[in-house]
Structure 1
């Protein structure tokens, strides 16, 4: 185990924000975690787990010991008539993993192509796109308790998945049934359950347009993968070219009555009925309606093709600061609340 000091974090966050880790250790396997927790200096130090850095906003240097997750490996652990069970190291890139599963003939992740970040970060955020969320393809995960050093395994129910939410985003408050694991769990491996027989998920307008354009109304998994990549590339900036953290705000949910009130004032609002009776509103539409698309504050801006994405206008040489990003985000929240009475909730973790 080697602890590096004063490590630049700009290469390790997709926004490209300049910050440094006072100390950083690379975690390549479970033995590295055990060595760290046995170390007289570092075992009790505050820790920050860093995966692909695609869902964070750094507002300054990180004083906690940064644990850079680099646990690799992919393998099929079980095949049954009903599913393929695939195990993936937490440090593997998510998109590369989606591509790998398709190459192996294990289908079911294609709708989540091109989501940035690592496999270990996927359960934390319960990532999802185009009708499929991680919880729909999840079997279990392995993790290590950074307080006790004990390894444990969680199934889907124990992860308490919600919309862009999980047990890993909540801090335990001390109650008898409280199981919050924020800042406490280091995910090492994730097992995905890919159902057999495969069935396509096609209920999104963008995919329906692709089917109509191609005259193909029964696409295979590889075709859906290619379409999703094309759709996302056309709508969203490549973080390696224009720094960003993907969708910056969660799509808010409201009651049917609230939605009807908004529709009475703004009939064009984009909304989707949910299974529980609530209505999901398109946050990007709300932000665009408030006039934010293409606007900038300092070196932080709103992407001109998709108002849900905040971007680093300064590039790598003169990047936006975390403070500029959050000032812009708060201004957007204020204007959306003043016009629609809706509070937008950011998706990224602010550090």
Structure 2
């Protein structure tokens, strides 16, 4: 353990308790950043010791398939601040989250303040900084819908970066931080524009079904409660059954591809669910594809596919001597091959994998 100018660098750190799949990978060097000036100190330490910088976040959207050689950073930059005079519209408010703020806790805080717009994103695991990397989305809302800007630190130069929503290049579960800025910066805070007037979004079928037909729309807090109940009914708690939530992205295909699949499977009398997108493309539920290929509830060794949600790969972690990391990647590959063979669709893994798939 090394004291590095008021923050501690640990060596050979076990990360099992710091990733939601509970994989027992280790970090050669590890530190927690609880203050902004720690970021520069960590970068200087990494440079002086020729270490790669690896931001960990809350560990809820990663698969640690191997040990990490480098300086692993656990960001604990906290704080929720209402920006004064940030908008000319009295109906909106700009709110800044520290990158280490627990996302769900931050959502609930804003709702209690009467700042709305995040209720559909309730109970998504992880921290606020990672929310921007992933462009988290659920029940008809994405982070890109509300993010104004964010601040980050360039890992190589230490320069402070200010990026607008447009500069983040958000896409479906995607951003510039998964593309050209991947591994090149550390997000320190995000600023969101929320509304003071409740304007709930019930476009998603599961939410519409949750609320009976009435002339009165539910409040944002009630929508948040509904989202939490729906998510809990569909997704296992990682604290009880280790997982990273959805393991595969919903594939986006062309209308021609959809037509081909429907034609090839017309004799089987199946109804392939699909959702037309604004740009003419088609979104197909990955969970349906995985379930059709008979993987829902499947188990091998210490890992498997959850019995109620085909998108969730779980680590039962109850087989002595098993290699859960290898087993979960092997299962993911098998699912991808089966879906490719059956439908000609390439399933893309949603969490980041450290190691080889």
TM-score (norm 2): 0.91
Structure 1: gaps spanning 5 or more residues = 171-179
Q: Which residue of 1 aligns with 2:163?
A: 154
- Deviation string 1:172-230 (CA, Å, 9 cap, x unpaired) is xxxxxxxx111110000111111354311111111111112x85751110110010000
Q: Which residue of 1 aligns with 2:211?
A: 211
Contact kept in structure 2, 1:16 and 1:319, CA below 8 Å: no
Contact kept in structure 2, 1:250 and 1:345, CA below 8 Å: yes
Q: Which residue of 2 aligns with 1:55?
A: 61
Q: 1:327 aligns with which of 313, 326, 330?
A: 330
Matches of 2:240 and 2:44, distance apart in 1:
40
Contact kept in structure 2, 1:17 and 1:319, CA below 8 Å: no
Q: Does 1:249 align with 2:248?
A: yes
Q: Does 1:290 align with 2:293?
A: yes
Q: Does 1:277 align with 2:286?
A: no
Counterpart of 1:53 in 2: which secondary structure? coil
Tell me the CA shift for residue 44 of structure 1: 4.1
CA RMSD of aligned residues (A): 1.8
> Relative to structure 1, is the Cα distance of residues 184 and 62 closer, same or farther in structure 2, using a 3 angstrom cutoff?
same
Q: Which residue of 2 aligns with 1:36?
A: 42
Contact kept in structure 2, 1:314 and 1:320, CA below 8 Å: no
Q: Which residue of 2 aligns with 1:174?
A: none
Q: Does 1:112 align with 2:115?
A: no
Contact kept in structure 2, 1:22 and 1:62, CA below 8 Å: yes
Instruction: After superposing the two structures, state which structure 1 stretch, 109-118 or 58-67, moved more.
Output: 58-67
* Equivalent residue runs for 1:61-72 within 5 Å: 61-72=67-78
Q: Which residue of 2 aligns with 1:84?
A: 93
Contact kept in structure 2, 1:160 and 1:167, CA below 8 Å: yes
Q: Which residue of 1 aligns with 2:236?
A: 237
Q: Which residue of 2 aligns with 1:176?
A: none
Contact kept in structure 2, 1:91 and 1:119, CA below 8 Å: yes
Q: Does 1:262 align with 2:261?
A: yes
TM-score (norm 1): 0.93
Q: Which residue of 1 aligns with 2:220?
A: 221
Structure 2: gaps spanning 5 or more residues = 1-6
Contact kept in structure 2, 1:16 and 1:316, CA below 8 Å: no
Matches of 2:96 and 2:104, distance apart in 1:
15
Aligned residues: 341
Instruction: After superposing the two structures, state which structure 1 stretch, 109-118 or 74-83, moved more.
Output: 74-83
- Deviation string 1:253-310 (CA, Å, 9 cap, x unpaired) is 1111221232341642121010000110000000000000000122111011010111
- Deviation string 1:118-157 (CA, Å, 9 cap, x unpaired) is 0010010000000000000101111000100111110111
> Relative to structure 1, is the Cα distance of residues 199 and 237 closer, same or farther in structure 2, using a 3 angstrom cutoff?
same
> Relative to structure 1, is the Cα distance of residues 222 and 110 closer, same or farther in structure 2, using a 3 angstrom cutoff?
same
Tell me the CA shift for residue 104 of structure 1: 0.8
Contact kept in structure 1, 2:317 and 2:324, CA below 8 Å: no
Q: Which residue of 2 aligns with 1:15?
A: 21
> Relative to structure 1, is the Cα distance of residues 115 and 151 closer, same or farther in structure 2, using a 3 angstrom cutoff?
same
Q: Which residue of 1 aligns with 2:191?
A: 191
Q: 1:142 aligns with which of 148, 151, 156?
A: 151
Tell me the CA shift for residue 22 of structure 1: 1.0
Tell me the CA shift for residue 105 of structure 1: 0.8
Q: Which residue of 2 aligns with 1:175?
A: none
